[in-house]
Each structure stands twice: as C-alpha cells, then as structure tokens.
Structure 1
Amino acid sequence: MSSTDFRNALGAFTTGVCLITVNDAQSGALALTANSFSSLSLDPPLVLWNIQNDSDCFREYTDCPYFGISILCADQQALSGRYARKDNHSIVQEDFVFDEYNVPLLERAVARFSCKRFQLIEAGDHHIVIGEVVAFDAIDEAPLLFSRGSYGQLATRTD
C-alpha cells in the first residue's frame, strides 16, 4: 500500500482547520496547525487531536498539562499557513489572548476550547492527544475548510 495514495484518499474527507496552542516553560507560547481535531465525548466533555511522533514540537505538546484549540474562521487561511510550517510555532502575541491556564487562544475563532490533558495514546506514527474541555466559547462565523490539499469555505445561501 502506498502511503502517498493512502494520504491522498484520506484528504477526500473535508475537515475544519484549528490552531492547537500550548505555553511551554522552555519554548514559550506555541501554535500548531491541525485538521485532526474531533469531538469525543459529551460526559465528560472530551476532544481529541493527533500529533506526529517526529513533530519538531512533540515534547511541548505532549508535556504541557493544558492546551488550547481555536477553530479558524474562513478568512484566516494565512494564520493556518503560518503555523503549519516546521520550526515556526512561536505565536504572534497580538493575535492571541491567554486563558485562565495561561494558554494562548486565538482572539477571534469560530470556537475556542481550553483543555486539560486527559490521555495520550501512542498510535502508529502519531500520538492521540485527548483533552478534557474545561472552558469554551463560540461565535457565529463560517469556518475555514481543508480538502484534497486546498482551503475552502462553506457555500452561502442566497435565499
């Protein structure tokens, strides 16, 4: 099985785009673009996302006890691109606010979740990071979408 073909087939599933954030004692406040975010449980409130085992910021994201998730708005493609690059995860402070756990959250996002690490599961070439949501908020904005290697947005109704 070709891993490239497999990845391309997975890309047919349209997802939202998130910034995952931490505030590490050594590396500072970081953001990482991810589209692996998913809800997991309502009671307790759990969400999950995945991080590649050889990620340049793997230690920071698996050691920090709290993390944030900010779902990007349709017009925030540049933010997604900025934090998707290797070795470029330090946040631009004016784009973020800090929650009560000192974790950065995007100032404007479709939804924001403050999470306490609940469980870390090794799975193939990734780790699944499960977080218990300790606070959240949401606004009525269209989300940024990602499908087949390209960004998109929801069609708007005209009626």
Structure 2
Amino acid sequence: MSLDSREFRNALGRFPTGVCVITANPDGYEPFGMTVNSFASVSLDPALVLWSLQNDSECFDAFAKAKKYAVNILSQEQMNLSNMYAKKGDHALDKSHYTLGRHGTPMIKGALTTFECDIWQRYEGGDHVILVGKVQSMVNSNNDKPLVFFSGKYRELR
C-alpha cells in the first residue's frame, strides 16, 4: 500500500503538539534556532528526550557538528518566535531572545521549560535524523499556557 505523502502529513497534524525552538551554538556557528514540534520524552533514568531533524534541513550541517542543544518549549505569548525560527533562510538567534544556560547552550527567554542536553545518540529515521539528548539541566517558568499546534494552526488550551 502506498500512502499519499500530503494526506499522511495532514493525518499526523491531527495529533496536537507543543511547539519548541531547538537552539545550539556549535563551534564555527553563531547561536541559531529552529522551530519543531517533533519533541518527545524517551526515558526518566537516564533523563532522555528526542526530536527529529529533516535530512535536507538548512540546519542539518550545524546540528551534525553540535555536541549539545537546548529544547525550548514555547508559551502562547511566543507565537512570534515560533514563526520567526520556522522561516527558511535565517535561523540566527536574535541576541534579545536568548541567554546562555549553565552548559553554554542558548536558552530562549520566557520559555515554559528549557532542557539543556548533550547529544546522547543519533539515529537514522527515513528522511530525518533522530537526535536523542541526555538532559543536563532544565529551567521551568511559572507560565502554564503552552503554545499548541493542531491541524496546521496554533491553538489554545482551555
């Protein structure tokens, strides 16, 4: 059976997700970020999380050199950041949008939660690479209004 790729993508969009900006600053690169909704937890012990990166992503080479990254879970108030770092062509982080965390990774200011991770493993996954990170530290905010994406649109939890 052959799946229509557009129909498959639309069907996957029926699963509500949070929105994250993955940030990094490997040697030879300025701090950068890209918007994803492919984030998931893997393990509590050790603390592992994952996200996936398309093989033809503009950020692929930079993440191939990265030894660490941060997962920044966005709040409703950060829809503009989601849109900004989802655009093609420019993933450089605006200096006013981040600070460096305890482990030197860029962390988006005001994110609901940020996980600073060392890359634990990379796995091939079809047209993506799956990056599993070992969480080294995390910062939580008091905000409880996540940015949610469902069926091609931002949504609010009620």
> What TM-score does the superposition give when structure 2 sets the normalisation length?
0.95
8 A contact 2:50–2:131 mirrored in 1: yes
Alignment equivalent of 1:91, drawn from 83, 90, 93? 93
The size of the alignment, in residue pairs, is 155
Q: CA deviation at 1:99?
A: 1.2
Post-superposition Cα deviations, 1:75-130, rounded to whole Å, max 9, x if no partner, equal 11110000001121000011101013321001111101000000000110000000
Alignment equivalent of 2:132, drawn from 121, 130, 133? 130
Alignment equivalent of 2:46, drawn from 44, 47, 52? 44
Q: Percent identity?
A: 39
The CA distance in 1 between the partners of 2:34 and 2:104, in whole Å, is 17
Q: Please, what is the CA RMSD of the aligned residues?
A: 0.8
1:81 aligns with 2:111: no
1:149 aligns with 2:152: yes
Unaligned runs of 5+ in 1: none
Alignment equivalent of 2:61, drawn from 56, 59, 62? 59
2:122 aligns to what? 120
> What TM-score does the superposition give when structure 1 sets the normalisation length?
0.95
Aligned-partner SS, 2:155: strand
8 A contact 1:62–1:120 mirrored in 2: no
Unaligned runs of 5+ in 2: none
Q: CA deviation at 1:62?
A: 2.4
8 A contact 2:97–2:109 mirrored in 1: yes
Aligned-partner SS, 1:151: strand
- What amino acid is the match of 2:151? R
1:10 aligns with 2:12: yes
The CA distance in 2 between the partners of 1:153 and 1:39, in whole Å, is 22
